[in-house]
């Protein structure tokens, strides 16, 4: 890539960092100080795909990650990656991954089975309610009990 | 060899924290799972952009196994900014600060030159204080 093409790198950085925002090719071209048509041609020559494709790929890649590792709804994930139409999200997703977002999610173990929750939190959350909330002597800041320190450390 | 995979940040509200760390600081949401059979326990992690193997856990003090008094104490410590923060390594501290201010991030210290580089301070909505440091000498050069 020629050194004069730095604005293209900046535009790509902008896509990578701010895909959540309502970015479109017009806004990217404006940031690069060139016309949209000229910008798309230059971008494609430099990176092998149009800025529109690059932005969509970035959004779909993030959406796939969120489908695997969160329990957010498809609608929420669509919005979180900067897309506004669930219909076109589903269509683009299926074209890229060969499955609808929901089918893609179901092809992986549930996100809840994958998260490494520390034992101390598990113990806290599964302790019988009576014991968990039972008041106990407050340790002072100067001499907090070992038990308390251990709990804080997790 | 031991590597840090997760660090914990206490936050007062997980939704608010996700919005701050992703939309304002540019982190990626990595995990967000609510486990109903564990009393609605919600596990949330984010990673700095470009550092997906470091997970910052966003955890409310109320999820900590402890008495209400202990939890209240922790909440107070967090609100006072005394519960510990992280240091973000940035390429250009002044430019980053300008961008974060544009997004409405609260600064506790403007970028200043220190012997180790340029250093600024920010505060998250829960009160946690972090640093943005542009090191004068990059780690690769330290031999």
Tens digit of pLDDT for each residue in B20-52? 999 999 999 999 999 888 888 999 999 998 899
Residues B6-20 have a mean pLDDT of 97
| B56 confidence band (pLDDT: 50, 70, 90) | very high
Compute the half-sphere exposure of residue A95: CA atoms within 13 Å on the CB side of its CA.
10
Neighbours of A109 (CB within 10 A): 9
Q: Residue A83: its pLDDT value, please?
A: 95
Of the candidates A115, A107, A103, the one whose C-alpha atom is nearest the C-alpha of residue A70 is: A115
Alpha helices in A70-100 (DSSP H): 74-80, 86-97
Beta-sheet pairing, B41-47 with B28-35: antiparallel
Q: Residue A114: its pLDDT value, please?
A: 79
Tens digit of pLDDT for each residue in A13-63? 889 888 988 888 888 888 888 899 999 999 999 999 999 999 999 999 999
A:B CB pairs within 8 Å? 79
Residues B45-64 have a mean pLDDT of 94
Q: Residue B138: its pLDDT value, please?
A: 58
Query: Is it the case that residue A144 has pLDDT exceeding 70?
Result: no
| A130 confidence band (pLDDT: 50, 70, 90) | low
A132's tokens: 């968990």
- Spatial separation of the C-alpha atoms in residues B55 and B9, rounded to whole Å: 10
Residues of chain A in contact with residue B33, where contact means CB-CB under 8 angstroms, are: 69-71, 111-112, 114-115
Tens digit of pLDDT for each residue in A131-141? 444 445 555 55
Q: Which of B32, B66, B67 comes nearest A72 by C-beta? A: B32
Residues of chain A in contact with residue B23, where contact means CB-CB under 8 angstroms, are: 20
Q: Residue A66: its pLDDT value, please?
A: 96
| Chain B touched by A151 (CB under 8 Å) | yes
Residues of chain B in contact with residue A69, where contact means CB-CB under 8 angstroms, are: 30-33
Q: What is the mean pLDDT of chain A?
A: 82
Q: A112 burial class (0-12, 13-18, 19+ CB within 10 angstroms)?
A: middle
CA torsion, points A132, A138, A141, A143, in degrees to nearest 10? -100
**Is the CB of residue A70 less than 8 Å from the CB of residue A110?**
no
Tens digit of pLDDT for each residue in A91-125? 999 999 999 999 999 999 988 887 888 777 777 76
- Spatial separation of the C-alpha atoms in residues A139 and A151, rounded to whole Å: 12
With vertex at residue B121, the alpha carbon angle to CA B136 and CA A142, rounded to the nearest 5 degrees, is 110
- Spatial separation of the C-alpha atoms in residues B21 and B131, rounded to whole Å: 14
Q: Residue B20: its pLDDT value, please?
A: 98
Q: A25 burial class (0-12, 13-18, 19+ CB within 10 angstroms)?
A: middle
Residues of chain B in contact with residue A70, where contact means CB-CB under 8 angstroms, are: 29, 31-33
Query: Is it the case that residue A150 has pLDDT exceeding 80?
Result: no
- Spatial separation of the C-alpha atoms in residues A137 and A122, rounded to whole Å: 23
Query: Is it the case that residue A67 has pLDDT exceeding 60?
Result: yes
| A152 confidence band (pLDDT: 50, 70, 90) | very low
CA-based nearest residue in chain B for residue A145: B70
Where are any strands of DSSP class E within chain B? 6-10, 28-35, 41-47, 55-59, 87-89, 106-114, 117-123, 129-135
Alpha helices in chain A (DSSP H): 6-18, 25-31, 36-47, 51-69, 74-80, 86-97, 101-106, 119-126, 129-132, 146-153
Q: Which of B6, B34, B65 comes nearest A124 by C-beta? A: B65
Tens digit of pLDDT for each residue in B89-143? 999 999 999 999 999 999 999 999 999 999 999 999 999 999 999 999 755 555 4
Q: Residue A6: its pLDDT value, please?
A: 81
């Amino acid at each position: 890539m020629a050194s004069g093409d730095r604005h293209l790198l900046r535009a790509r950085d902008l896509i990578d960092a701010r895909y959540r925002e309502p970015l479109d090719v017009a806004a990217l071209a404006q940031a690069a100080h060139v016309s949209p048509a000229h910008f798309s041609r230059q971008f494609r020559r430099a990176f092998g795909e149009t800025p529109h494709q690059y932005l969509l790929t970035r959004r779909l890649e993030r959406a796939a990650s969120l489908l695997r590792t969160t329990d957010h709804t498809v609608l929420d994930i669509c919005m979180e990656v900067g897309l506004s139409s669930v219909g076109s999200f589903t269509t683009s997703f299926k074209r890229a991954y060969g499955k609808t977002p929901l089918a893609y999610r179901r092809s992986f173990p549930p996100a809840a089975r994958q998260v490494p929750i520390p034992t101390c939190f598990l113990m806290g959350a599964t302790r019988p309610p009576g014991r968990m909330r039972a008041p106990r002597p407050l340790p002072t800041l100067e001499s907090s009990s070992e038990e308390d320190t251990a709990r804080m450390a997790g | 060899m031991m590597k840090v995979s997760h660090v914990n940040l206490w936050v007062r509200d997980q939704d608010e924290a996700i919005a701050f760390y992703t939309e304002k600081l540019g982190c990626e949401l990595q995990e967000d799972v609510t486990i109903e059979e564990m009393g609605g326990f919600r596990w949330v992690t984010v990673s700095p952009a470009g550092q997906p193997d470091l997970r910052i856990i966003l955890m409310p003090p109320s999820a900590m196994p402890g008495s209400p008094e202990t939890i209240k104490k922790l909440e107070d410590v967090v609100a006072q900014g005394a519960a510990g923060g992280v240091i973000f390594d940035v390429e250009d501290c002044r430019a980053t600060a300008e961008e974060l201010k544009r997004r409405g991030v609260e600064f506790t210290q403007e970028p200043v030159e220190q012997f180790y580089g340029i250093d600024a301070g920010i505060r998250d909505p829960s009160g946690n204080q972090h640093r943005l440091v542009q090191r004068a000498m990059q780690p690769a050069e330290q031999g």
